[in-house]
Amino acid sequence: MQSAILRASGLYTPPHSISNEELVVSFNAWVAQENEARSAAIARGDVVALQESSSEFIEKASGIKSRFVVEKQGVLDPQRMSPRLEARPDDALSIEAEIGVAAALDALSAAGLSGADVDGVICAASNMQRPYPAIAIEIQAAIGARGWAFDMNVACSSATFGIEMAANAVRSGSARRVLVVNPEITSAHLEWRDRDCHFIFGDVATATLIERGDISSGGWEILGGQLATQFSNSIRNNFGFLNPAEDADTNARDKRFRQEGRKVFKEVCPMAAAHIEAHLADLGFAPGGVRRFWLHQANLAMNQLIARKLLGREATLDDAPVILDRYANTASAGSVIAFHLHEKDLARGDIGVLCSFGAGYSIGSLVLKKR
């Protein structure tokens, strides 16, 4: 069996950033407007007044200071609270494919390769802008890749699950190189009017090029991947193709991201730490022998807790880099951004763990060794 190499990664960062302060000004303007409109019902006690958000709470509860978005004005408009994207004709590149292509080309350029060198494209993300044709096939055509392409979705674990699928294709000999692309336009499935979660997400696209060992130089060998899922309704989004058949309101609260944040925190942290520890043990490693953990970026305290459980001490930014302060939670792309921005300083032979966790629940870990 061939070895699989994570040869290169790519990143596309949208041009617009929203600080917590800007976000809270717009959210609180919306709250004032809603409370004004419902003042009689509030006075009667029929409904409770909406509460304001606070940038201090956001940073303290999550570690997030700002997030990037593909469109800013619509998100910050209290009359809209959602990005404003223009529908594109069928013969134009879709926005999700467009940002995916930018990340894919960044990864290819880092490897000194072009689309024609790629045998397969997996678009792995927490949401696709349409069911078909696959966004992956559109990306495949745009970069001139050969072979096959398909979309897959395991929410925040899409990237690690996609990389493991790509590594298996390379190991089995069915492909020489597979691109895994993660275009995350989370701003369009976040409920910006929900105080409990309006600050959580940001937009981005990442890509990783997985290559067969015998034709590869440099990069990281994927020593092993371990994937796990366990059904949970604690993070859920009911938007889907049955909505019209069910006469459902597609703007209803349950048609966007919603979660029980505390429950997720409590349930997922021990699962993720145990998963990583068991995966490392299978490969003959202990957590203390890992040079770096590139963890999913949902919440700073969550990452600190997982790293502390693994290392038996407080983790430094060198042990487990943080990018969510600038990027927020970018769903499946978070751990890949952490890897992309914080892998070049490591030395040959160093061991790293790239790990995602999120809705499903789903956990995916990849143990990597620098070549």
* 61 CB-contact burial (10 Å; exposed 0-12 / middle 13-18 / buried 19+): middle
- Residue where the block lists tokens 């957590």: 287
Q: How far apart are CA 3 and CA 188, in angstroms?
A: 38
Q: Which two tokens stand for residue 170?
A: 């390379």
Judged by the rule CB under 6 A, the positions of this chain that interact with ligand COA are 53-54, 57-58, 61-62, 156, 195-196, 235, 259, 261-262, 264-265, 298-299, 302, 329, 358-359
Smallest separation, CB 24 to ligand COA (Å): 8
Region of 247 (left: φ > 0; alpha: ψ -120 to 50; beta: rest) is left
Report the distance separating Cα 221 and Cα 348, nearest Å.
11
CB of 55 to ligand COA, least distance (A): 8
Instruction: Measure the CA–CA gap between 246 and 241, rounded to whole angstroms.
Output: 9
Q: Is the alpha carbon torsion for 361, 342, 336, 352 positive or negative?
A: negative
Contact 113, 143 (CB under 8 A): no
Measured from the CB of residue 81, what is the shortest distance to ligand COA in angstroms?
Answer: 14
* Residues sharing a CB contact under 8 Å with residue 219, sequence separation 6 or more, in sequence order: 5, 6, 7, 8, 111, 211, 371
Residue 328 CB, nearest approach to ligand COA (Å) = 11
Q: Is 269 considered catalytic here?
A: no
Q: In sequence order, which residues have a C-beta less than 8 Å from that of residue 161 and are 6 or more positions away?
A: 124, 152, 154, 227, 362, 364
| Euclidean distance between CA atoms 53 and 56, whole angstroms | 9
Q: Which residues are the active-site residues?
A: 156
